[in-house]
Amino acid sequence: MKFEFYNPTRLIFGAGVLEKLGEAVRPLGGRALLVMGRGSARRSGLYDRVAGILSASGVSVVPFEGVEPNPRLDTVLRGSEAARSEGCDVVVALGGGSVMDAAKVMAAGVFYPGDLWDMMYVGPRRPRLPERALPIVTVPTLAATGSEMNDGAVITYQDLKVKAFVEAECLFPRVAVVDPELTLTVPRNQTAYGVSDIIAHVTEAYFNGVDGTPIQDSFAEGVLRAVVQWGPVAVEEGGNLEARTQVQWASVVALNGWVQVGTRGAYPVHMMEHTLSGIHDVPHGAGLAVLNPAWMRFAAPHRPERFAQFARNVFGVREEDHLTAAMRGIEALEDLLKRMGCPLTLGELGISDPDPELYARATLEVAGDREGMLRGRPGMSRLDLVGIFRSVL
Amino acid sequence: MKFEFYNPTRLIFGAGVLEKLGEAVRPLGGRALLVMGRGSARRSGLYDRVAGILSASGVSVVPFEGVEPNPRLDTVLRGSEAARSEGCDVVVALGGGSVMDAAKVMAAGVFYPGDLWDMMYVGPRRPRLPERALPIVTVPTLAATGSEMNDGAVITYQDLKVKAFVEAECLFPRVAVVDPELTLTVPRNQTAYGVSDIIAHVTEAYFNGVDGTPIQDSFAEGVLRAVVQWGPVAVEEGGNLEARTQVQWASVVALNGWVQVGTRGAYPVHMMEHTLSGIHDVPHGAGLAVLNPAWMRFAAPHRPERFAQFARNVFGVREEDHLTAAMRGIEALEDLLKRMGCPLTLGELGISDPDPELYARATLEVAGDREGMLRGRPGMSRLDLVGIFRSVL
């Protein structure tokens, strides 16, 4: 193990902490670009509540609405321009992963010279990372991406239908105000997709990282057990605050670096899914539900003991034989996802004209290394990717 | 769960990372107070190596030697004065927990108006916390206190024989350079005491925190399993880099807040131990080895299911009955500590004239609440404390 770790986001967590938003934002700025999605915050009254809290602390609000799922580069650009023209000195993201990711890049875009797309990791080119951003405060309304407490963002370039990510220290939110009460009204399917996303964040590092990280393994298994326990409850009983709290907390730690630290994990399933949602605009967590078990079926024979550890420590599988246990674990994951209402095939995902060859090529174009392989354990060739996409037709 | 979490320390971890110390310090300052213990860094050549690395990066070094185990307030004062008179703009701590704790308070002392003791938590009085400190960089040479990546420090007021702690955001090290190679030559007993300290950091929050924190439970159990596995190896084979690495990593996560987050844990065993080492100047980790199992024997009957969970998930105990399982777990912990060479009684700790009445009173004077109880699960009266101290005569 040899690594660096840094995460300076101040986390304020718990039911009711939204009330602290004003005091969290005020020291950072007096005029906030309040970034939101496509209307639900306005309809539910949450916008009014947040605007009221901010105003009461002396922060004026410039609302920016309309961030779509799989947020587009042109939307981000408009946000940066709005922040600049309105003289905003802080950015508050009120929404799910799309809103938070878009808000982060908007905050950096205010200072970024040239084309925002240059900051994204696309193919083997070296991105020109942003070095400065307006202070960012995240207020997640969905437990899913973990974007509230990390320095990453995923943006879709609408013209190219390419979805790519950026990671830079200036994108760490200064404060994350994480109030599980805001998730009580999230619909069943979005709740389930969020859980699927949380699971994938943890399994990626767990299965694609280096050996010899027993503490991180325990962390990962603990987060997974928590969502296995509480995820279906949150789906079945949306108003169950305890379930919402546990799932929300899992979403924070699933991608704030505590589970990944020192593992040098790769994210092959995310890279494959970004292709799907880049092309077909499907929900990210739903795409992950299709691809994560499929990838596991491909990868397990290469490392049965690791997948058996997952099966035993997360799902309590008791089979002695590693590969048999591994397969039982993957089945248990599929069963969990299915019970929550997640799709397990491209058809169930609503893709009527699937093109595995295209997906494989497109994935490698964005995320392939110089040898044309997708990083992971094992590394994957174009044909491997085609096989995985075919397995979920 | 309702909490705030913040830890902005940049962690650079791994065998060989000491080489990065210069580039870590240089952006923070050009003249470093290099705080050390009582000569071992000088004798081993480590001082020369570190001074060389810093000089090569353009950082001049003002050595400050002589920090004792259970660091004294007067030593800290001299350090602050040296930093001020020598014009230091950064503080580098090269040593174990004592050195790091002393260095943190020295860094704050440079700006602190009035008596440094006023910043410590002593009894029910409200401390005047420091708000500013010179930037701090920690380079631990021992895996134990976790001070390298948190905002706490424990100092002994030599005249009163009182040991007390301070916790303030300005005490977070800016960077922790954690190189397990530096611990390869730590003697057996200090290695064992370090492991005992790591265990106690984790068990305190685990046993004294709120209910409903399954993710934190898993984190805690994972750190404990790692030190149960690797601690004895590090003791037996001091030169085993893998064992040193796992134990060092455990020491970082045992007290950087990841395990404690949201638990509102109390630290009753630490409070009792501070009394012992304040009065008798015994090694902190050795004192914890005596008191931690003794406290557990007292507390387990109040909450057998929790102690059974510990026994099962950390030591693989299989007893069905909770209290029986709990006791097996405590025995397993005692066995582990004993195998590593830790004391389990005050006599083995070298205290020939133990005074349980005095310890109980002194503990409550420093750490008791307004009702004269020591916070924990369960809260403890003076008589409870006397009983625990008596049980290890």
Q: What is the CATH number of the domain that holds B346?
A: 1.20.1090.10
CB-nearest partner of A12 from B4, B226, B258: B4
Amino acid at B267: Y
- Name chain A contacts of B15, Cβ cutoff 8 Å: 2
Percent of residues, chain B, with pLDDT higher than 70: 100
B23 interface with A at CB cutoff 8 Å? no
The per-residue pLDDT for range A31-52, each reduced to its tens digit, is 999 999 999 999 999 999 999 9
Q: Does A262 touch chain B (CB under 8 A)?
A: yes
In a shared domain, residues B306 and B323: yes
For residue A325, is it within any domain? Answer: yes
Touching B: A residues 187-216, CB under 8 Å? 212, 214-215
pLDDT of B230: 98
Q: Which residue of A has its CA nearest to B259?
A: A219
Which burial class, exposed, middle or buried, applies to A345 when counting CB atoms under 10 A from its CB (0-12, 13-18, 19+)?
middle
Using DSSP, state whether B29 is helix, strand or coil.
Answer: coil
What are the phi and psi torsion angles at A5 (to 5°)?
-135, 140
What does the pLDDT read at residue A125? 85
pLDDT at B385 over 90: yes
Distance CA A330, CA B313 (A): 24
Same domain, A160 and A201: no
Rounded to whole angstroms, the Cα distance separating B259 from A253 reads 12
Instruction: Name A358's Cβ contacts closer than 8 Å, sequence gap at least 6.
Output: A279
Does the structure show a pLDDT above 90 at B234?
yes
Query: Would you say residue B196 lies in a domain?
Result: yes
For tokens 């030697």, the residue is B65
Does the residue B3 lie in any domain? Answer: no
- Rounded mean pLDDT of B191-196? 98
A225 shares a domain with A119: no
Which structural domain, as residue segments, surrounds residue A106? 10-183
Residues A97, A153: contact at Cβ < 8 Å? no
Q: Structurally, how many domains does chain B consist of?
A: 2
Residues forming beta bridges with residue A178, ordered by sequence position: A13
Mutate to test the interface with A, among B3, B4, B19, B225 (most CBs of A within 10 A): B4
Q: Are residues B142 and B102 in the same domain?
A: yes
> Residue B5 is nearest to which of A11, A212, A262, comparing CB atoms?
A11
Q: Is residue B203 domain-shared with residue B95, that is, in the same domain?
A: no
User: Are residues A206 and A179 located together in one domain of the fold?
Assistant: no
Distance CA A171, CA A135 (A): 8
Amino acid, res. A374: L
Over residues B281-338, the pLDDT tens digits come to 999 999 999 999 999 999 999 999 999 999 999 999 999 999 999 999 999 999 999 9
Last residue of a domain, one of A183, A218, A253: A183
In-domain check, residue B173: yes
Taking the C-alpha atoms of residue A258 and residue A251, their distance in angstroms, rounded to an integer, is 12
Q: Which of B149, B183, B217 delimits the end of a domain?
A: B183
Look up residue B80 and give its two tokens. 């602050």
Contact A222, A276 (CB under 8 A): no
Asked if residue B2 is part of any domain, the answer here is no
B392 secondary structure, DSSP code: T
Whether A8 and B12 lie within 8 Å, measured CB to CB: no
Q: Are residues B126 and B218 in the same domain?
A: no
Is the same domain home to A67 and A120?
yes
Name every residue whose Cβ is closer than 8 Å to that of residue B343 and which is 6 or more positions away in sequence. B286, B289, B290, B349, B350
Whole-angstrom distance, CA of residue B47 vs CA of residue B39? 9
**A183 and A143 Cβ atoms separated by less than 8 Å:** yes
- Length of chain A (residues): 393
- Alpha-carbon span A175 to A136, nearest angstrom: 7
Domain boundary, last residue among B125, B150, B183: B183
DSSP 8-state secondary structure symbol assigned to residue A17: G
Chain-centre distance of CA B191, in angstroms? Answer: 13
**Residues A210, A135 share a domain:** no
B24-82 pLDDT tens trace: 999 999 999 999 999 999 999 999 999 999 999 999 999 999 999 999 999 999 999 99
B123 has pLDDT over 90:
no
Q: With respect to residue A3, please indicate whether it lies within any of the assigned structural domains.
A: no
- The rounded radius of gyration (Å) of the Cα atoms in chain B is 20
Residue type, A206: Y
| Site from A4, A229, A309 to mutate, B interface, most B CB atoms within 10 angstroms | A4
User: Residue B114's CB: how many other CB atoms inside 10 A?
Assistant: 8
Which of A19, A218, A244 is most worth mutating to test chain B (most B CB atoms within 10 A of its CB)?
A218
Q: Do A218 and B215 touch (CB under 8 A)?
A: no
Q: A153 in a domain, yes or no? A: yes
Find, in chain A, the residue whose alpha carbon is nearest to that of B1. A14
B13 touches chain A (CB under 8 A): yes
**Which distant-in-sequence residues (6+ apart) come within 8 Å of B193 by Cβ?**
B144, B283, B284, B285, B286, B288, B289, B342
pLDDT of residue B232: 98
Same domain for B216 and B122: no
pLDDT of residue A17: 98
Answer whether B120's CB lies under 8 Å from B155's CB.
yes
Residue B337's alpha-carbon distances to A44, B171, B192, B200, B327, in angstroms, are: 57, 31, 8, 11, 15
Residue B124 pLDDT > 90: no
**pLDDT at residue B125 is higher than 90:** no
- Is A5 inside any structural domain? no
- Enter the tokens of residue B50: 């570190």
**Are A236 and A353 in a shared domain?**
yes
| Sequence-distant (≥ 6) Cβ neighbours of residue A355 within 8 angstroms | none
A1 in contact with B, Cβ within 8 Å: yes
The CATH number of the domain holding residue A73 is 3.40.50.1970
> Which band of pLDDT confidence, cut at 50, 70 and 90, is reported for residue B11?
very high
Q: Which of A16, A214, A249 has the CB atom closest to B225's CB atom?
A: A214
**Cβ-defined contact of A14 to B8 (cutoff 8 Å):** no
**Average pLDDT across chain B, whole number:** 97
> Taking every pair of C-alpha atoms in chain A, what is the biggest distance, in angstroms?
64
E-assigned strand segments in chain A: 2-5, 10-14, 31-35, 60-64, 90-95, 136-140, 152-157, 162-167, 175-178
A234 contacts: CB under 8 Å, gap ≥ 6? A143, A183, A191, A195, A240, A243, A244, A246, A247
Domain match, A101 and A204 both: no
Q: Is the pLDDT of residue B202 over 90?
A: yes
**How many angstroms separate the CA atoms of B315 and B313, rounded?**
6
**DSSP letters along A332-390, please?**
HHHHHHHHTT---STTTTT-SS--HHHHHHHHHHHHB-TTS-B-SSS-B-HHHHHHHHH
Condensed to tens digits (0 to 9), the pLDDT of residues A197-239 reads 999 999 999 999 999 999 999 999 999 999 999 999 999 999 9
Exposure string over B39-51, b if 16+ CB within 10 A, otherwise e: ebbeeeebbebbb
Report the SS3 class of residue B230: helix
Strands, sheet with A90-95, edge to edge from the N-terminal-most edge strand: A60-64, A31-35, A90-95, A136-140, A175-178, A10-14, B2-5
Residues 6+ away with beta carbon under 8 Å from A228: A314, A315, A336
* 3-class DSSP state of A137: strand
Q: Which residues of chain A have pLDDT under 70?
A: none
